[in-house]
Structure formats: C-alpha cells, structure tokens
Amino acid sequence: MVITTPFSRALGIKHPIIQGGMMFVGKAEMASAVAAAGALGIITALTQPTPEALREEIKRTHELLNGRPGKFGVNITLLPSISPPDYPAFAKAAMDEGVTIFETAGNNPGPLIKFIQTYKSPGQSEAPKRFVIHKCTTIRHALSGQKLGVDCLSIDGFECAGHPGEEDIGGLVLLARAAKELKIPFVASGGFADGRGLAAALSLGAQGVNMGTRFMCTVEAPIHQKIKQKIVDSTERDTIHIFRTLHNTARVYKNKVAEEVVRIERRPGGAKFEDIRELVAGARGKTVYETGDSDAGIWSAGIAIGLIDDIPTCDALCKKIVEDAEAVINGLNNLVTPSRSAGKL
C-alpha cells in the first residue's frame, strides 16, 4: 500500500508523513525510527545544548539507521527570547553533517532560510539543493514564506500542539484557504493522527501530514512509558492554552502546572512572564518525559490526543495510516456514480 504525492516524491520518502519537530522528543531514536518507516524523521535542533551536540545527534541518527534507507531533517524554531540561540551555528552544524532537509518555524525566518539555501560547507564549490519546509499558522505568513523561496509550507491549524498562533483558525478552513492562495506545495499540521486525517488533508489540497503528538505515542519515542500511557488514556478535552494573555498562545497538556499558569494569567491586572517563569521552565518539561510524572511541568500535546489509543512502532503506525487512508479514499470513490441523462431511468 503506497500513497505518493509530489511532496513525497521530491523528498524521496515512501509515505507523505512528517514527524514534526518536538522539544525533548525529536532525538536520534525518534528521527531514525520514522525515517526507517518510510516517512520523514526530524531532529529538533534546540533540544541539543550546542551546535556541536547537534552534530553528534545527527551522527547518532545515521548510526541507528545502520545503513537502512531513510530520510531525516532538522527543525530549527526561532523562539522569542532576549538572548536567542545562535541559529545559524545550529544550521551550519547540520549542513556540515550533510543534512539537506530543514523544518523552520517562528518569527522573521528570512535570514535563516537564506543562510540555509546559500551556505557552502567546507569543500563545496556551491551550495547544494536544500529542501526547506516552513511552518505557518496563518495564510499571510504562508504567503510571506512563499516569497522567501521555501520549497514547502506546513500549515498549522488551531488544533496543533505548541504555538497555534493568535487567530484561532481551525485546519478545515485554513487548509482550504491554503489550497486557494498558495502556489507551492503544503502539508497539513494540527489534529492529524490517523488515516482519516491523511485522506482529509489530501482532499483539502495538502500533499501530506505533519504529526507530533501521534509520534510521541510510539514504541521508539524517547519519553517515559507513563507519558505514552497518559496520552492513550486522555481525550481531546485534555489540552489547555497557556500564554494567551501574553499573546504567545501555546497548547499544552492540561495538568496541574498548566492550570496554575492559566489561573495566574486570569488574575485582575493580568500577569507578566516573570510571574510564571518558574512554572513553565523547560527543565521542568524535560523532567516530565524523563520521570513519567505528567504534573512535573509543562508539556506539549495537540487535540489529536483524542484519536490515539495505542502505542505502535513507527513502522506499524505509518503503514496503518496509509492503509486506512486508502480505504477512506476508495470508499469515497464508490460514492461517485455515472450521472443519468435527463428523462432516462
């Protein structure tokens, strides 16, 4: 069973499925398993403390693939920060290790995208062709990404984990708008976890799906088994938005810490980031994945959590999604019947 699109053919992947960048999850174990399954694995650059550590993680991904065919890229998300990381240094480290596929996200990505497209590693006479997928939560940002010359856009609906933007537009309308407005390929992100979702995305004009939460709940995901089981046991009602009053909305798992953040944000007079800094510290979120304590800190989860009821291998997951999508598409084809001429039975 195979579903191919211009996007999957351009990248040389079997399935039009991306494992999106996820902080503390997008590691070598995750990316290599997804790549070996025929989808696109993604290493999250900023999970690594330094560009040199990213180099080693890329090498480790190749080692885990152990010669098996498979494609993976690197996610670099530009975060709002007083002291931002050296994003070009992370990109350079990845490119020097031969990475040619990048997922970018965040504000003002132009300089980073141009650097990725034009950088020549030592010994290269010219920059090789690199494939850039840029994540957007609005059509206007997608059009800006298109002007920047990216190869593909990941259109994130309000259902997604992490930062869904401030306009609260769900994927059904956002993807249909993308199909009308964009001239370059796009994939669908936010709320996708199964074959029905893939079939729906394709019908709306997308050339694949980008999944995060669904890949967290796989055998190879490098997070504690208790968190995987927590995802299985949860429903689409078990996420919550934080940072809404700070205009940096994030969808996360609804736990005690997240609810406390929201309570502070709703105080008379509102809240400043300093009021919640300790609650949302990244180190606490990392502890969730390491210890299995789902209330230890903030951790991302999309409403696709309501569609997840098992913990398969990445290979089994990708095969099941494609098989189920084919069944849905074939079923829809059966609804189309030849029209009858007027006046004839």
Is 231 inside a domain boundary?
A: no
Q: Examine residue 339 and state whether it is found in any structural domain, yes or no.
A: no
Q: Which residues contact 54 (CB under 8 A, 6 or more apart)?
A: 43, 45, 48, 74, 90, 93, 94
Cβ 328 vs Cβ 278: under 8 Å: no
How would you classify the pairing of strands 209-211 and 152-156? unpaired
Q: Is residue 297 part of a domain?
A: no
The domain in which residue 113 lies consists of 6-223+310-333
Q: pLDDT digit string (tens) for 188-233?
A: 999 999 999 999 999 999 999 999 999 999 999 999 999 999 999 9
- Each residue of 236-269: pLDDT tens digit? 999 999 999 999 999 999 999 999 999 999 999 8
Identify whether 304 is part of a domain. Answer: no
Q: Are residues 88 and 216 in the same domain?
A: yes
| Together in a domain, 326 and 181 | yes
Phi and psi angles of residue 168, each rounded to the nearest 5 degrees, phi first: 55, 40
Q: pLDDT band at residue 343, thresholds of 50, 70 and 90?
A: low
Instruction: Tell me the average pLDDT across 12-24.
Output: 97
Same domain, 214 and 85: yes
At 209, which CATH number?
3.20.20.70
Task: Please indicate, yes or no, whether residues 182 and 102 belong to a single structural domain of this protein.
Answer: yes
pLDDT at 110 over 70: yes
What is the C-alpha separation between 324 and 255, in angstroms, rounded?
A: 32
Average pLDDT value over all residues in the chain: 95
In terms of domains, do 316 and 281 share one? no
Look-up of token digits 């919640």: 276
- Whether residue 326 is contained in a domain is answered as yes
CA atoms of 271 and 288, how far apart (whole Å): 25
CA-to-CA separations, 163 to 12, 56, 75, 212, in angstroms, rounded: 29, 28, 15, 12
Let me know whether 107 and 25 are in one domain. yes
Per the DSSP assignment, residues forming a β-bridge with 105 are 77
Residues 318 and 278 in one domain: no
Residue 232 falls inside a structural domain: no
The token pair at 293 is: 């304590």
Is residue 341 in a domain? no
Asked if 151 and 285 sit in the same domain, the reply is no
Lowest mean pLDDT among 17-26, 27-36, 74-83, 312-321: 74-83
- Residue spans of beta strands (DSSP E) within the chain: 17-19, 40-44, 71-78, 101-106, 131-136, 152-156, 186-189, 209-211, 239-242, 250-253
Question: Residue 147 half-sphere exposure, CB side, CA atoms within 13 Å?
Answer: 10
**Total number of domains constituting the chain:** 2
Q: Is there a contact between 38 and 11 (Cβ–Cβ < 8 Å)?
A: no
Q: Residue 2: its pLDDT value, please?
A: 86
Q: Are residues 141 and 250 in the same domain?
A: no
Both 271 and 317 in a single domain? Answer: no
Same domain, 157 and 281: no
Contact 292, 197 (CB under 8 A): no
Residues 31, 171: one domain?
Answer: yes
Residue 342 — pLDDT band, cuts 50, 70, 90?
low
DSSP string, 165-194: -SS---HHHHHHHHHHH-SS-EEEESS--S
Residue 61 lies in a domain: yes
Beta-bridge partners for 136: 155
Q: Is the pLDDT of residue 304 over 90?
A: yes
